[in-house]
Amino acid sequence: MHKIIDRASAEQFRRWIEESEQIVLTCHVRPDGDAVGSTLGMCHLLQRLGKRATVIVPDQPPRSLTFLPGFKGISIFTRHDDYCRRMVSEADLIICCDFNAPSRQDAFGPVVDAAQCRKVLVDHHQEPSDFCDLMFSFPEMSSTCELMFRIIAAMGLYPEMGSDCATCLCTGIVTDTRNFSVNCSDPEIYEVLMRLLEKGVDKNRIVREALLARSLSSLRLQAYALSEKLEIIEPVRAAVITIDSDELKRFNYERGDTEGLVNEPLNVRGIISSYFLRQDADCIKVSARSVENFPVSEVCKRLFGGGGHRQAAGAEFHGTLEECRRMLLEALPGFKCYLPSRLEKIE
């Protein structure tokens, strides 16, 4: 495996861990498999090293991650505000995983930002802001969990890794690569997978729990969205799905129920980018995905001030669902230059 982590940084991180007694690990709001997997995975390893380590997430993680070992021990800031503040104030070290700026933590961001202790960033998003003392920022990584694995290996701690840690790290890799179907062309990711499986990971269970399992109402909501609410904008090879709050209510929407929906139109030959606009309580949530290297991150950034990865991005829009949709439809022709030169017919 290539040693992409420089030795000095790995040694410094390891030294900081050794010098710390109490360690907090944290991630972005609406934590996903990679956010929870990377924090909880490292937490297991730190506990094995005899540290008092805690995972604090800004808000409730999805039900699909409850199978993770140690899930019950996660502290949720929106539920236990005082406790979380105390843990942060007592921490000697804070490890920030899978986000690139304090704003990605909502109300918990300022709490972490105000902490005086050492902070380490472990992340794979573009353009991290400078809020940590030691930064492991690798946008080319499939996932923060893959990066965390490499850091652990670089610190010489692979032998200390148990199946709990490995299961959490494998979960983030499986969810961020959609079970090795995107962002997984680097052969080394399969070596990382192999090393995790050697620790006793049940990958089939991870795929089923974290990626496939869902509620009946979410299946019905997605079926409705695809059959009734999908618009195809042929000239720009885009798909747009809009869902308003009445529709969400009709299908007893719970957070996470529309997870993955935005990817579905990309399975149709000829569709290059896909947008899902959902009316939330206080904003319109925009999710965007693409194939053929089409920069949906640019679309989200220029139109709505959002961002993300080139082929997987998002934003929040303050206005009506219809305004958001119209803005998108009007702007898309301006991104035509990014479409592949040869366009397939959508059929």
Alpha-carbon distances, residue 36 vs 104, 169, 225, 294, 304 (angstroms): 14, 9, 28, 28, 27
**Rg (the chain; Cα; Å):** 20
> Which segments within the chain are labelled E, that is strand?
22-26, 52-57, 75-76, 93-97, 118-123, 134-137, 230-233, 238-243, 273-279, 284-290, 307-309, 312-317
CA pair distance 141, 90, nearest whole angstrom = 32
98/164 with CB nearer Mn ion: 98
Q: Binding residue for Mn ion (CB under 5 A) from 34, 164, 209, 257? A: 34
Q: What is the 3-state secondary structure (H, E, C) of 168-189?
A: HHHHHHHHHCCCCCCCCCCCHH
143/279 with CB nearer Mn ion: 143
Question: Pattern of binders to Mn ion over 228-267, x per CB under 5 A?
Answer: ----------------------------------------
CB of 176 to Mn ion, least distance (A): 5
146 binds Mn ion (CB under 5 A): no
Q: Is 24 exposed, middle or buried (0-12, 13-18, 19+ CB in 10 A)?
A: buried
CB of 47 to Mn ion, least distance (A): 23
CB of 124 to Mn ion, least distance (A): 6
33/295 with CB nearer Mn ion: 33
Nearest residue to Mn ion by CB is 34
CB of 289 to Mn ion, least distance (A): 14
CB of 214 to Mn ion, least distance (A): 20
Phi, psi of 70 (to 5 degrees): 90, 0
CA pair distance 151, 247, nearest whole angstrom = 44
Residues 65-94 binding Mn ion (CB under 5 A) are none
Q: Binding residue for Mn ion (CB under 5 A) from 5, 40, 57, 98? A: 98
Question: Taking contact as CB under 5 A, which single stretch among the options 16-24, 139-147, 301-309, 335-343 is the one that binds Mn ion?
Answer: 139-147
The residue ranges that bind Mn ion (CB under 5 A) are: 34, 98, 144, 176
